[in-house]
Amino acid sequence: MARYVIGDVQGCFTQLQQLLQLINFQPEQDQLWFCGDLIARGPQSLETLRFVRSLGASAITVLGNHDLNFLASRYGYGRICTDDQLQTLQQAPDVDLLCEWLIQQPLLHYAKAEHILLVHAGLSPQWDLATAMSMADEIQQQLKNKPAALFAQMYGNGPDSWSLAKNNYDRWRYSINSLTRMRYCFQDGRLELKQKGELSDNPALSPWYEFWREREHPQIFFGHWAALAGHSPVEGIHALDTGCVWGQSLTCYCIESKQRFSVAGYKKSL
């Protein structure tokens, strides 16, 4: 058995199939771990969701910010842009079935025996692992039982500090922002959710993973940050979003062999 952790697919189904052919993926014995953002921006979100769902136990996925935004839109929240290229998915006859499957996916997957963690964006420096796991579980239950109430309160950048989360909705919003949107934090560990792109030279900011450099942590696999081009300088923390939807590459990491594999990214027709 081999487990392959795959960066943000974002509806690039053709590139995903090319990657699986490259690694000779065998669903009867191998497993795919997806870092979230299965959909949006690429041209084949519908095909991607159908395929990953069809894999059953051969696939593990965590929710990304684009996945959550699409789910929220089904309840009247969020905003789907034309550039998201989700019209085909929105109009598909099986969209409700696909959403029912997607909304059951967690925000964090932890393999306790091997101390390996899968997440879309990262882990807040103001948490320990137990807090992250507890909040991910709490949000997953809310998504299963009262999704509309959660989506109604999900959007916004505050609170930026865990200590300022005074009620459930504050706690859930902070947790979703940490697990699916975060890239940088201020030096005191507060979330900074506006800075994107290349690594900032702003001394007031540090990438979230730098706060874990000197702390005990699981082996962490994350996506979300294409500008990192798959590079994280912290040992045991693996960046896997290599900008497939932006024409760069789609990358996976084999947990067993510790090898990376990549195929060329999506090229938008002119």
pLDDT digits (tens, 9 = 90+) for 89-127: 999 999 999 999 999 999 999 999 999 999 999 999 999
Q: What is the pLDDT of residue 166?
A: 95
One-letter amino acid at 125 equals P
Q: What is the pLDDT of residue 242?
A: 98
Q: What is the pLDDT of residue 197?
A: 74
Q: What is the pLDDT of residue 252?
A: 98
Q: Residue 201: pLDDT band by 50, 70, 90 thresholds?
A: confident
- The residues, any chain, with a CB within 8 Å of residue 3's CB and separated by 6 or more, are 30, 31, 32, 33, 254, 255, 256
Backbone angles phi, psi at 42, to 5 degrees: -85, 170
Instruction: Give all domains of the chain, ordered by start, each with its CATH number.
Output: 3-264 (3.60.21.10)
Q: What is the mean pLDDT of residues 209-224?
A: 97
Verdict on whether the full-model pTM lies above 0.85: yes
Q: Residue 5: pLDDT band by 50, 70, 90 thresholds?
A: very high
Residue 241 has pLDDT above 60, yes or no: yes
- Tell me whether the omega of the peptide bond preceding residue 159 falls within 30 degrees of 0, making it cis: yes
Q: What is the pLDDT of residue 149?
A: 98
Helix, strand, coil percent content, the chain, rounded in steps of 5: 40, 15, 45
Q: 64-78, 163-177, 189-203 — which is least confidently predicted?
A: 189-203
Residue 173: burial class (beta carbons within 10 Å; 0-12, 13-18, 19+): buried
* DSSP class per residue in 186-212: ETTS-EE-S--SSPP--TTEEEGGGGG
* Residue written as token pair 């992250």: 132
Q: What is the mean pLDDT of residues 145-155?
A: 98
Residue 173 has pLDDT above 70, yes or no: yes
262 sits in which H/E element: strand 259-264
Q: What is the pLDDT of residue 270?
A: 55
| β-strand partners of 39 | none
